[in-house]
C-alpha cells in the first residue's frame, strides 16, 4: 500500500456528516465541552499518552475520522508535534456523577520526541508529599481540586495551574494537559466488553457517602466498568472481617493490568467497533487543551511508535501515613529521563514497529 508524506496509508475521503458545524473562527477560549468531532483525536491522544498503543490499522482508521474536521484554534508557530518534542500532563480524577470531587488519583507526565519516535512516561503516587517553593505542602492529589475551587478568584484555570506546578516539580516545560475522570474509565471498560484480570487479594470497602461498594474475591476475574474501577481504586477495608490493605504502588500495578487487558480487547475481533464505542464513552468525560490540528499531528507522527520505545519511569517512595515520601534518586532519574527524551538522547529500538 502506498504511503503519504507522513508515512500513513493514503487517506480516504471522509464522509460528510449532516449537521456538523464549523469552528468558531479560532477566536476566544476553547469551550470546556469539546465538540464531538474532536473525540476521535482525544481518545487516540489519551491512549497514546498512557501507552495503550494500538496498531497502525487502528491509527489509520482514527486518522481518517479527524483529518477533515475543523480546528478550534491554530497550533502556535513552532509547536507542531510533527517536528517539536512535546510534554503532556495526564490527570485521572475521581470526578463522577456521585461526587463533585476532583482528586487526581492518576498523575503522569509524558514526553514525546518526533525525530526518535520515543516517549517517556513518568508516574507519581497520588499521596506524594509535595514540598515546592510557592506552594503549601500537601498531597499531590489535593492540588487539582484546590485549583478548581480557586478558578473564579485567581482567573487561572486549574489545568494551567497544574501544568505550571508539575513543570516546576519535574524541571520541565509542560505543553498540554489532558484530564480523564472516573466515569470515562468505567464507560470505556464497558465499551470493550469488560476486562480479564487477576485480583491479587480479597477487597471489601463500603462508603455510603459516595456510593462506593467494593466487594471483590481474589483470583482470575472478568470485570465490568464498575468492578474494574473498584479493583484499581481499592486501598483499605472497613468491612467485617477486614480485607488486607493496599498501597499506591499496588494500585499502579492493578491499573496497568486493566489497561493491558483493555488493549487486548481492542485488538480482538471487532476491535474497530470497540474503539468507536470507547470514543463515545470518553467523549463527555475528558477535557484537553490540545488543538484539533495538533491531534492530527500526534496521530501522523506517532501512529506506528513501537511499544518498546515507550519507556515507563514510575517514581516510588516510602509510605509514612498520610504521605508517600518520594525516593529522591528515582525522582532525579525521572527528571533526567524526560529531558533525555526531549533532547533526542534516547535511542529508538531497532524493531521499527
Residue 230's closest CA among 262, 197, 260?
Answer: 197
Tell me, what's the pLDDT at 41? Answer: 40
42, 278 contact by CB (below 8 A):
no
Residue 91's closest CA among 137, 24, 39, 158?
Answer: 158
Tell me, what's the pLDDT at 323? Answer: 94
Tell me, what's the pLDDT at 269? Answer: 61
Question: Residue 333 pLDDT more than 60?
Answer: yes
Cell numbers for 321: 501515613
Tell me, what's the pLDDT at 13? Answer: 37
Banded pLDDT at 278 (limits 50, 70, 90)? confident
Banded pLDDT at 253 (limits 50, 70, 90)? confident
- How confident is the model over 131-161, as pLDDT tens digits? 999 999 999 999 999 999 999 999 999 999 9
Banded pLDDT at 96 (limits 50, 70, 90)? low
220, 131 contact by CB (below 8 A):
no
In angstroms, rounded to a whole number, what is the distance separating the alpha carbons of residues 256 and 332?
23
- How confident is the model over 176-193, as pLDDT tens digits? 998 888 777 888 889 889
Tell me, what's the pLDDT at 244? Answer: 94
Tell me, what's the pLDDT at 305? Answer: 75
- Bigger pLDDT: 299 vs 243: 243
- The whole-chain average pLDDT of the chain stands at 77
Tell me, what's the pLDDT at 11? Answer: 38
Half-sphere exposure of 321 (CA within 13 A, CB side): 4
In angstroms, rounded to a whole number, what is the distance separating the alpha carbons of residues 344 and 342?
6
114, 294 contact by CB (below 8 A):
no
From the number of C-beta atoms within 10 Å of its C-beta (0-12, 13-18, 19+), residue 169 rates as buried
Cα dist from 239 to 213, 227, 245, 251, 329, whole Å = 10, 17, 12, 19, 38
E strands in 167-322: 176-181, 195-199, 203-207, 212-216, 219-223, 286-288, 310-314, 317-320
Question: Residue 335 pLDDT more than 90?
Answer: yes
Question: Residue 76 pLDDT more than 90?
Answer: yes
- How confident is the model over 157-183, as pLDDT tens digits? 999 999 999 999 999 999 999 888 877
In whole angstroms, how large is the CA radius of gyration of the chain? 20
Amino acid at each position: 500500500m502506498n504511503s503519504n508524506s507522513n508515512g500513513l496509508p493514503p487517506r480516504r475521503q471522509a464522509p460528510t456528516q449532516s449537521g456538523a458545524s464549523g469552528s468558531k473562527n479560532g477566536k476566544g477560549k476553547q469551550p470546556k465541552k469539546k465538540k464531538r468531532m474532536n473525540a476521535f483525536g482525544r481518545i487516540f491522544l489519551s491512549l497514546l499518552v498512557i501507552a495503550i498503543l494500538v496498531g497502525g490499522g487502528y491509527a489509520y482508521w482514527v486518522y481518517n475520522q479527524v483529518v477533515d474536521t475543523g480546528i478550534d484554534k491554530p497550533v502556535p508557530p513552532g509547536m507542531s508535534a510533527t517536528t517539536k518534542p512535546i510534554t503532556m500532563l495526564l490527570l485521572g480524577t475521581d470526578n463522577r456523577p456521585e461526587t463533585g470531587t476532583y482528586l487526581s488519583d492518576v498523575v503522569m507526565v509524558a514526553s514525546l520526541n518526533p525525530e526518535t519516535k520515543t516517549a517517556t512516561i513518568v508516574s507519581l503516587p497520588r499521596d506524594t508529599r509535595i514540598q515546592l517553593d510557592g506552594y503549601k505542602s500537601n498531597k499531590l492529589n489535593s492540588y487539582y481540586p484546590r485549583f478548581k475551587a480557586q478558578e473564579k478568584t485567581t482567573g487561572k484555570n486549574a489545568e494551567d495551574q497544574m501544568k505550571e506546578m508539575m513543570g516546576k516539580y519535574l524541571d520541565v516545560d509542560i505543553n498540554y494537559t489532558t484530564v480523564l475522570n472516573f466515569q470515562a474509565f468505567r464507560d470505556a471498560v464497558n465499551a470493550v466488553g469488560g476486562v480479564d484480570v487477576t485480583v491479587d487479594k480479597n477487597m471489601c470497602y463500603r462508603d455510603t457517602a459516595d456510593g462506593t461498594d467494593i466487594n471483590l474475591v481474589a483470583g482470575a476475574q472478568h470485570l465490568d466498568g464498575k468492578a474494574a474501577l473498584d479493583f484499581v481504586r481499592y486501598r483499605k477495608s472497613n468491612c467485617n472481617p477486614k480485607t488486607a490493605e493496599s498501597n499506591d504502588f499496588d494500585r499502579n500495578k492493578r491499573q496497568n493490568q486493566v489497561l493491558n487487558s483493555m488493549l487486548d480487547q481492542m485488538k480482538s475481533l471487532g476491535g474497530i467497533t470497540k474503539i468507536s464505542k470507547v470514543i463515545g464513552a470518553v467523549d463527555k468525560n475528558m477535557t484537553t487543551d490540545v488543538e484539533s490540528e495538533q491531534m492530527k499531528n500526534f496521530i501522523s507522527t506517532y501512529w506506528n511508535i513501537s511499544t518498546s520505545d515507550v519507556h515507563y519511569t514510575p517514581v516510588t517512595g516510602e509510605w509514612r501515613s498520610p504521605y508517600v515520601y518520594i525516593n529522591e534518586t528515582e525522582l532525579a532519574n525521572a527528571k533526567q529521563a524526560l529531558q533525555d527524551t526531549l533532547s533526542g538522547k534516547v535511542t529508538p529500538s531497532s524493531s521499527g514497529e
